[in-house]
Structures are given as structure tokens and as C-alpha cells.
Amino acid sequence: MIRSDDGTCPRHLIPRSAIIEMAKIFLFFLVLLTPVSAGSFRSSNELFEVNSGILPHKITSTPLNSHLRVRGGSDQDEERYSRQVYALGKRAHGLIRTSKVYLDGPPSSGLLYECAKNLVLSGVGSITILKPSSQKNKLDDDYHCANFDDLGRSYQQAARSELEVDQVVDEHTLLQNYLRRLNPSVKVSVMTLDEVKKCSEEGVFVCIDRAYTTQVQWNNWCRKANIKFVSIETAGLYGKVFCDFGNGFKVFDRDGEDPLQTPLGKAKVLIETGEIRVNCIDGEKHDVSQGDLIDFRDAAGNSIGFNCTVMKVINPKQFLIEISGSLSANDFCEEINQRSTSFSRLKVPEDVDFNTLDSVLSKAYSDDSLFSLCDLDKTFDRNRRSAILSCFLALGEFIGEEGFCPTIENLEVFSGHASKSNAQQDHTTLSWKRAVRCFTKTCRGKFCPVQAVIGAIGAQEALKAASGLYYPVKQFLLFDCDELIIEDENALKSTETMNTSANGQTYVIGERLCERLSQERIFVVGAGAIGCELLKNLASMGIKNLIITDMDTIEKSNLSRQLLFRDRDIGVFKSVAAQNTISMYKPDIDIEVHTSKVGDDHGPFDEDFWSKKVDIVLNALDNIDARLYIDSQCVAHGKALVDAGTLGSKGNVQVVVPHQSESYGASVDPPEPAIPVCTIKNFPYLISHTIQWGKELFDAFFTQRPKRYNELSQLLKDNSPDSVTRKIISELGMEASRETSRELLEDVESSIVEDISTFRDEAITWAATCADGLFRQEIEVLLMKHPVDSVDEDGEPFWSVSRRVPKSVYYGVDAHDPQQMKINDNLVAFVQNCARLRIESCNPHVAKDRIAHITREEAVSALKTSNLSPEDKGIHARIQFSKDLLKDEIREWGLIGFEKDDDSNGHVDFVTAASNLRALCYGIAPVDTMETRRVAGQIIPAMITTTALVSAFSCLEMVKLVQKASLEVHRNAFVNMATPFLAFTRPMPAEEVFNIKGRRFTIWDRTIIKESKRNSKTGGITIRGLLARIIKKTGLDDDLFQVSSISYGPYLIYANFMHEHDDELLSKPVWDVIKEALMHDDEFSERDSDDAKKIYAFRSPKTPDFR
């Protein structure tokens, strides 16, 4: 499921309209891509790494207490980049942290700032900004019009305000200091062109907003210097990306997806054909495709050395394989079934060859494989694509000759230049002419959303070049949003010159649309990663009225992808900090800030707010419930909505157009698969099962148990042991009562210990006893109940593939057994963290630094004596003894909630140790704290580049909403920056229903019933009168139409199956019925009373308000 980098869960299902488009994509790839030969790009070293299960860039099992430390990193880096590391993996992130990037572009270019911002927040090792030598290049100076670059001006305005410098400061120095402020850990320097050319350091060179001839010069120099080359530029509504990473560029992982570790059911030789069929265990599915290499692994997660190739996928649970080597098919299956417990597909590094810019152009107009997919409606139009590429090439030539950027008045001359650069193409087609005309009309100006799109893609390509992670653009990517004006024939055919004194956006999309944009009231819901990018774009686009809300505060991990926040803002509300920074981008912007939850009935977002104070809503949320609430309010009040979300390199944007499109909630995401309780409790077979068990154990030990002690100790103080015993047994049952009374006595005995040192010793012993009970005694009890050779009721072996035979673990002295060493390390970590957390829970007011560190020696000593069982007592005896021990003043225990982001609190370390011990009991490979944190904390991988991309698409759709564009012009976006892949589909129209007279209704329709003055004077319209008015509004007879229910918010006030003959209810005024319902709730608002008396609005028969 796709989620935002803040944990968001946006649209997962692709709309129905996208199915045909997706089919085009697959066919396109089938034509262009050929399978990579297994092993053809692997050295012996790489082969060893893959066969050892150590993928070149992925997270691998490391020692228990290892953390996020990567090359060139620090402890602060670990927290800052934690979400990014989950997206990229340790290897790739480490390479990025030590990479060197050169940036060449006009210092006032918004695209330069945008790309540099993405790179510096991603944490590249160093950035070198190029500035001209003494001899200036006139073409480069003329190629970029600073007066028409709104984003560049906004960035420079913000930089000057934040750095408190005046207008005279050198622009390159301004950029340098701004980037340093964004991320102090990145080294940022300024060098002249001559100094850079003398430099021999490898790295990535990004050429920004430069003419074609300049791009070629730098590209050729980069080839000689063994530096990867990326060029990006925008012109009006158009953008271009070009990449040349040299010959034999190694891509270690084309998509960055973790191969699924699938539990193996059985490998079997088919008698009919002699083929080998591999089966998953029941309830599991594989992720393999034809041609994949498969690696089989043992219970410890180690490769057993039998690789094979998938020949055919039968279904999601079965596939056929081909083996190599001397083993027969039967011997192979026997070995696999005996030694292997799981399998996964192998990722084989591949070499990718690139051509230089000047050499590839001869093939660019005829070779579709040189263009990455971007908007399928446009990608497959070769004439249109060629026209745009020709325009970019001709732009530098025109400016070099004329000394200025072309306008619509120069269409004929510029069109001649474009045609000359591609003489073979048919220049008479409509798509060619329209594209060239639109390019000429807008190319002088810079449009912020297009700059943000290209800046995100350009930065991501530079990161690919530095890390070898993800498949690069090979070699062109063209993007445009000319549907903003190309559908308007009058605007397109107009020869009127744009206002040359206007800003860039006005020049591109027109003064009238810009004026309407400035008057819109935009509600940005969420000021996290997506929210920050939205706000920056909106400020640069001239939006004057903004409303922001976010109830979260800033954490260190936010800083790697949220450009509006600095280290000094940690702990501050995101919306408040965002307001302060955005005011630097645009001082005259009017921002209304809230820190309230959007679904709060008594907060600022009331009926008046939704009706009068907002025009368009931009979602930057982190959960489904909030999204659905915002969606419902937008539908109820006819407001436009744009929703965006990301998951690592993937992202999506959905636009909701009032009265035209379906709503966000119209299609439902599939539920997250739940792990059965019996699997977690007794039969785990995946590491996610044991991590979930470990997290539940944390909650049981340090949240639920202290809470239960606080309640029972108080109950026991005020009541007799007999009554407390009866109450516990009646509520919990006999078995649970035994455990509860035992825990209560343990906790009471601990609570009466005054000396912290004595309690510390008791806590260590208690933790060691818990370890013995959980990982030895409980396993032995389970095996006594179900011996290894036992069978189920059907006579089948009880212990099967999905029911792994467990074994107990305990502290051992064999220092040469690697498995026992893992067990010992995890047992020690369990005791250390378990004891520490118990001490903190029992002594919540004692400073943590007063609690001495629990040493390994202390933990080992306790573990060696932990198998002594305490004397057992009955339930009543334990409760009686607890009563006797309790003092007059009861010590209240502290409740500890699981916190994933603080490495110092021991929470993740405890869950890791508990999970790994559980995994070792069941033959599952243990993992490190990083993976435990991801699973237990439900962390969503996030990258600034994906965030910037979807935010730009959101702003494009916002412009179309203000423009009142037709539904056909709008685009939902589905992107994957890893592959790279950008797909756009038209939003689905709202589903229509028909009443008996053939009238159409959608979710956007309303039937409004207004209360008359006469009814108002007599207490208001009655339920009976309201029903009659509704039926009258429909124009149908009451024998043909019935109102099945009426609700007010969550309150059902009428249902025909309950109240059809209830004269008392039917005779009551509607408001009295509503008031009675509200009185049963916690609060009643007079404001609600006033609003509800004025108007009753009910949805169409399709929606839940009346049916």
C-alpha cells in the first residue's frame, strides 16, 4: 500500500480508467526490454555476495545492537536520514553520503535551487557550485531570464531573509550559504569553471538551464574525466532530462524492491513432464516472474547454494523451475525439501551503456527506447515528442543568433530552427504544430510546478549515478503540462505578445488565471514532507490566502525531507514553523495557522469554515481516517480536493473535481493483511510474526501490566482479598486469574522495595526468569502438548511447514558455536533492556541517569540461575499476601508506551532481543534493530525527491481546478522514480444513479429543505413534515418513493423500519429530535444549534444522509 513519507496511506488501487493505460505500459516494456542473462554481469565476488544472501545494497542481518551508522555518517545523521535509509538501503545511502556533486546553472535559477535543495536534503557528501570564470558566456547569460523565474526569486528572497543578508551579496555565495543552512552536514563550496576543469575527482555533474551547446561541452568533458553527467532544463510548460553515465554503468538494483522471503511448501517433480514445481506454504504467495533466479535458504537465512531459474509461473503459489548442475531433479527436490525453509528471487546487477548527448541525437527521433515513459498519451505520439525535443535544441540556437528568448511573434523563425534540427520529421502534423506553437508561446517564462518536477527527477538521477541504485533515465525524459493552454484554441492561436513586465507564471499561463489563483483560499492539511513542498510551491505561485493545520511537532527525522524546518525547530508545531519560513518566501502572504485535528468536531473546522473559508483543499496527510474525513467534507460542501502520498520511490496524486469526478472514498483500499493470533502465539514462520510478538510482549510488560497493577492495588486497598479474588475470577476466568494474581504479588513485592540498588538486582533476576519462562519453559510445555511426531485430527503430521517445530533456547557456555553465541547475545540484551524498563516503570520519578547500566556480567549471572521455579501459591493466597504487603501509600507504576525513534530508551532493543530469541526458537533468521524498528514502528520509507515530485503534480492539478478545466484535462498521477515511470490517467467520473423518473444523481447532488418562518415559530418542522417535503422534492408519489433513514452527522434520527408508525416521533420538531440525540453525547454546542435550525441538507439517495 502506498503511503506518504509521513506514514500516509493514499490511494492504492489504480482507477478503472488506468487499466488500459497499464496494459500499454506492459506491452511497451515487452517490446523494448530483453531479459538479462543470468550471471552475465556478475564477477565471482558478486556471485559470492548474492549466493550468501547479501544483496549489494540491501539491509542484511547484522549484530543485535548495531544501529543505522553508515559511511560518513554520525549518530545525528542516523536519526536525520532514518526514513531515507529504509528506502535506499545502507549501501546506497552510504555511497550517497560520500558522493560529490557538481552543479552548473544560472545562480538565479529556480531549477538550480530546487535540484540543489533535493540533493542537500538527501545528504550527498559534498556539493560544488560552479561560477563563471572571468570570461563570461553570453549565450548562457541570455539563455535564462531571471525576471521570469518566480521560483528562483522566491528561493533567493527566503535565503536572504533567513541568512539576514542584503541584495548585494554574490548570488553563488547566497546559494552556498542557504544550502549549508538546509543541511549543515553537507559540505558546500563554490568553484570557478576553470578550477573545476582542473579537478580530477569523480562524481556527478548536473548541468541546469543551459543551452544545448553548453550541455554538449560539459558532457564531453565529463566523459573524459569519468564523471557521470545529468542535464536538466525547463521552458514554460516543458521540461527535459538527459543522462549519460558512461559505458558499463552498473545498476545493482533496478527497482529497489526487497525480494519477498517466501516460506517454502515443497518442491516436487511432476511425473508427466519431469519438470520441478515449487509450492509456497498455505496462505503465502510468491513474487517471482519468469526468468528470475531463485535462491533457496535454510532456517537461519543462509543460502544453501542451489540456485535455479523460473521457467513458468503457474499461479501466485506455484511455479516451475529449471536447474543446472549434476544433481537429478529428484535429488534436487530431496535436498531442497530437507534443507530449505524459504526461497527468494535474486537480484542480478546489470551493466547499462550510455551515449553522449551529441552522438545520441541522430537516433533520438526514431528510437523509442531512448525515452523514459512519461504520460502515455504523449509518449507514444512520436511527432509530438520530436517537436518538443527539437524545440529544446533550437532554443539555444535562436537565442545565440537573436540575443533573446523567442516569443509568439517569432513563431515562424523559431519553428524554422526547430524543423531544421529534425529535417526527417513530418512538420505538417497537427501535433507538431501545436507543440511548437505552445513551446514558443511559453518558453521565456519559468513555471514553478514544472521546475519542481524536473528538479526532483534531476536530483534523483544524480543520486542513481552516485549509488547505482534504481534504473536511470536512458537517456531522455520529456515532461510537459501544455494541456493547461493547448486545449484553449483561442489562447493558443493568439499572436498577442505576453506582458514582458509580468512574472514568469503570468507570462506562461496568463494574467487572468494568475489573478484567480491569487484570490483562491487554499487549505493545506498537513505540514510534513508533502506539506512543506506544497507551501513552498504555493508561495512561489502567488497564492495569497493559505490555511495550514498540523497537530504534529518537528522531529529530527523530519529534517531530511522537510525543507521549511531547521534543527532549531525541533519540538515546535510543524504548522507554526512552516508559517514562519513561508513568510520569508513571500512576506505579503496571508497564512492562517492551526494545530488542531481536522476531525475535531469542536475545533476551528466547523460548518462555517467549510462553507465560506476554503475553496480548494490540498491533502498532505498521514492516515486514511483523516483523508476520508476531509474527502467527506469536500463532497458535502462541494469543494475541490487534491490528495498526494508517497512510499519510498513510489507516489500518487488523485484529484477530486466537484460535481464531475468520483471522490477519494469512492474506491476502497484493500485491508492490511492481519497475522492470525495462533500464528503469533504458537506457530510463527516469518520474522514479522516474531517482531509483532515482541512488540505485544513490550506492551504486556510495560503498559498493560503496570496499568493492571495500579488498578488492582487500589482495589485491594479498599476491599477484602475475598471480594477482589471473586471479582478477578469472574472477569478473567480461572486460568487468567492465576497469572494475574502471580503478577500482582510480584509487583507488590517489588513496590515495597525502597532501595533502588536492591530493586535493580531484583529487576535483573525478574528479567532473567522471564527469559527462561518465555524461551525455554513455554516451548517445552508446547512440545509436551504436541510432540514432534504427533498428528492432527486428520491423521496428518501436526508439525508441518507452516508449523515449525520449535526448540527451547537458554544461555550456554559453548563459545565456538555461532548459533549459541547469537542466543547468548540476545538473551543478555533481553535481560539488560527488560530489567531497565521494569526499573523505570516501577520508579517513574527517578531520573534515568541515576539507574546504573546493567552490565553483561550481571545479566549472564542472572541467566545462569534463572531456571529456579518460585514456590507456587493459589489465587486467593497470592491476593491475601499482596494485601498484607501493601502499604498505606501505594506506589503508582509508570506506563511506558513504545517509542520507535529514540535509540537511547531501549524500546527497540527490547523488541529486537525478544523477537530474535523467538525467531531462534522457531528456526527463523534474526534481524537487526533497524529492521525491527521498521516493522514494529510501521515506518514508511521516504525520500525528498518523490515528495517534491508528487507535490508538484498536486500544484498542477490545483491550477486546473482554478481554471475550471474539464475532467478530461485533469490527471491522476502514478509514479515510480526508481524505474523511472510516470503514468497519468484521467479521473473517473462520479458514478450516477437514476430515480424512477430517470433523473440522474451523483454523490455531489443535494436536496435542500428550508424551514419556513411559520414552522420556525412553532418549534420547527416536524419529522413528518420533513418526510413529506422530501417526497415532494423528488416529484414522486409516496407509494413509489420512501425515505428509509435520516441522519444528522453520526446520529440516526429516523429509520422507516423503526419509526414509520411512531406518531410521537413523527410529530416532534426535527431540531428537538436532534437535540435529544446530542444531549446523550458529551457536549452540546449552541453554535450547532443555530446552524442546524436554519437549514437541513440531505444527500441524494446514493449517500448515507437519507436513503
Please give the positions annotated as active site.
678
In angstroms, the CA 190 to CA 128 distance is 6
Per-residue DSSP letters for 703-734? IIHHHHHHHHHHHHHHS-HHHHHHHHHHHH-H
Candidates 1101, 992, 1095, 1000; CA nearest to 1042 is 1101
Contact 687, 919 (CB under 8 A): yes
In angstroms, the CA 912 to CA 934 distance is 11
Cβ neighbour number for residue 754 with a 10 Å cutoff: 8
Q: Which residues of 867-883 are buried (b: 16+ CB within 10 A; e: fewer)?
A: eeeeeeeebbebbbbbb
The x, y and z cell numbers of residue 754, run together, are 525502597
Candidates 535, 542, 488, 481; CA nearest to 511 is 542
Contact 774, 787 (CB under 8 A): no
Q: Which residues pair with 545 in a beta bridge?
A: 521, 590
Q: Between the CA atoms of 772, 777, 779 and 780, what dihedral angle is there, to the nearest 10 degrees? A: 140
Candidates 533, 665, 575, 657; CA nearest to 959 is 657
In angstroms, the CA 982 to CA 971 distance is 11
The x, y and z cell numbers of residue 110, run together, are 529556480
| DSSP character at residue 558 | G
In angstroms, the CA 275 to CA 267 distance is 10
| DSSP character at residue 816 | T
The residue with cell 543446472 is 324
Distances (CA, A) of 650 to 558, 949, 975, 1069: 19, 10, 6, 53
Candidates 149, 161, 169; CA nearest to 235 is 149
The x, y and z cell numbers of residue 260, run together, are 519477498
Phi (first) and psi of residue 655, to 5 degrees: -105, 135
Residue 690's contacts (CB-CB under 8 Å, 6 or more residues apart) are 684, 915, 916, 918, 919, 922, 924
Contact 975, 651 (CB under 8 A): yes
In angstroms, the CA 951 to CA 476 distance is 22
Beta strands in 452-597, from DSSP E residues, in sequence order: 476-480, 521-525, 545-549, 590-594
3-state secondary structure 215-227: HHHHHHHHHHHCC
